[in-house]
């Protein structure tokens, strides 16, 4: 039996569970009046449920567990190279994801301080270190190669925290977080699939299935429109961080899979959420504010300020992220510092252009009002 069928099966099963559960979550949320609170920072109007992310973890666990179980049932054991390692990683991954699921659900239902959420994220990140998912080599980035295990663990925790928050904070307009997540999940999933590392490909596709269904209801839904909330966005960032670190490690530790500029390529695959989060954090702190201070400085806010709709802004940002992915994979074997610098330069250029366009648009609006 072709192992690719299990990768496809993980996606289809997850999508089916999402299709069955998400509409029912909308109905229950409306009956219980569990809506996303309106505020000056929110870009939507009306009463929209925000518990779509409740479907993510169960759909992922069901699809992944069943497809892996079927592999064993049909005698298609996982390669000994990955079997024990993947099993241990999955236990810690699910433990961390469960923590984020409940902390996200609590925040969606009643609200939590960013300190409480950050503590939960830190514990979840540490669990991945216990799983053995960590950075051991920088591949020459900033002139660094092999690093001390303690330094590697600290750096890995920072990467996990950054990605978990990045996908949480980019969730500001319809389809943006789910669309960017699908890009990252499909990129990692296809890479693992193409290199016959089916267990991680199944993992990526088991999450991509339900996210695809959520994207449909979030963007195209009318009566059944729903948001993912922190329950969903925290889970997405956490899983993408895990898959990214596996991608990183496999390219460093194995000559067969080796990508010369793996850390920079990893950054390119998740560039928009990461760059936007770091940029906004830096601007806020430079003004003496908390990095988690709520404002409208994110890239999607700039798009909306140009007069674009949610869908137009989302599709443009997703297209830009796709260009970063193709660019980084196409230049995967050049000097890592050159590729890293190119990503950073293009990111700064993107923000510069958006700022100029926004200023011109606002001046035109002011001139018309006068």
Measured CA to CA, the distance from residue 245 to residue 128 in angstroms comes to 10
CB 274 within 8 A of CB 334: no
Which residue's structure tokens are 């592999």? Answer: 71
Classify each residue of 69-100 as buried b or exposed e, where b means 16 or more C-beta atoms within 10 Å of its C-beta: ebbeeeeeebeeebeebbeebbebbbebbebb
Domain boundaries, the chain: 4-369
Q: What whole-number distance in Å separates Cα of residue 5 and Cα of residue 9?
A: 6
35 DSSP 8-state letter: B
**pLDDT score for 347:** 97
Instruction: Give the pLDDT score at 130.
Output: 94
CA distance 245 to 247: 5
Reported as a single tens digit per residue, the pLDDT across 72-97 is 898 887 776 677 788 899 999 999 99
What token pair was written down for 132? 């053995």
Q: What is the CA radius of gyration of the chain?
A: 20
Q: How far is CA 56 from the centre of its chain?
A: 13
| pLDDT at residue 257 greater than cutoff 70 | no
29-38, 96-105, 142-151, 226-235: range with lowest mean pLDDT: 29-38
> Mean pLDDT in the chain?
91
Contact 305, 358 (CB under 8 A): yes
pLDDT digits (tens, 9 = 90+) for 41-83: 555 455 799 999 999 999 999 999 999 999 989 888 777 667 7
Contacts of 133 (CB under 8 A, 6+ apart): 89, 156, 242, 245, 246, 249
CB 152 within 8 A of CB 128: no
Neighbours of 193 (CB within 10 A): 20
pTM above 0.75, yes or no: yes
344 burial class (0-12, 13-18, 19+ CB within 10 angstroms)?
middle
Banded pLDDT at 5 (limits 50, 70, 90): very high
């Amino acid at each position: 039996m072709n192992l690719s069928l299990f990768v496809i099966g993980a996606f289809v099963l997850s999508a089916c569970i999402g299709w069955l559960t998400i509409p029912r979550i909308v109905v229950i949320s409306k009956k219980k009046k569990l809506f996303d609170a309106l505020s000056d920072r929110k870009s939507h109007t009306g009463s929209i449920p925000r518990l779509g992310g409740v479907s993510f973890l169960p759909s992922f666990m069901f699809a992944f567990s069943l497809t892996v179980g079927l592999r064993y049932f049909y005698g298609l054991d996982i390669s000994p190279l990955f079997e024990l390692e993947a099993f241990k990683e999955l236990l810690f991954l699910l433990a961390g994801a469960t923590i984020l699921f409940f902390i996200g659900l609590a925040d969606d239902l009643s609200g939590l301080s960013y300190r409480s959420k950050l503590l939960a994220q830190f514990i979840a990140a540490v669990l991945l270190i216990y799983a053995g998912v960590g950075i051991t080599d920088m591949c020459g980035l900033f002139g660094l190669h092999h690093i001390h295990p303690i330094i590697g663990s600290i750096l890995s925790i920072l990467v996990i925290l950054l990605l978990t928050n990045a996908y949480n904070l980019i969730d500001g307009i319809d389809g943006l977080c789910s669309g960017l997540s699908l890009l990252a999940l499909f990129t990692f999933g296809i890479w693992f699939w193409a290199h016959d590392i089916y267990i991680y490909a199944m993992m990526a596709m088991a999450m991509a299935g339900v996210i695809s269904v959520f994207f449909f209801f979030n963007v195209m839904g009318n009566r059944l429109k729903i948001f993912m909330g922190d329950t969903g966005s925290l889970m997405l960032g956490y899983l993408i961080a895990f898959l990214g670190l596996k991608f990183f490690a496999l390219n460093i530790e194995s000559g067969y899979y080796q990508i010369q500029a793996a850390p920079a390529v990893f950054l390119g695959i998740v560039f928009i959420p990461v760059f936007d989060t770091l940029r906004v954090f830096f601007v806020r702190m430079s003004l003496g504010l908390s990095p988690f201070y709520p404002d409208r400085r994110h890239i999607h806010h700039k798009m909306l300020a140009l007069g674009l709709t949610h869908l137009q802004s989302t599709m443009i940002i997703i297209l830009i992220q796709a260009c970063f992915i193709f660019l980084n994979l196409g230049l995967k074997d050049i000097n890592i510092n050159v590729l890293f610098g190119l990503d950073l330069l293009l990111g700064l250029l993107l923000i510069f252009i958006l700022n100029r366009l926004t200023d011109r648009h606002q001046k035109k609006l002011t001139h018309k009002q006068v």
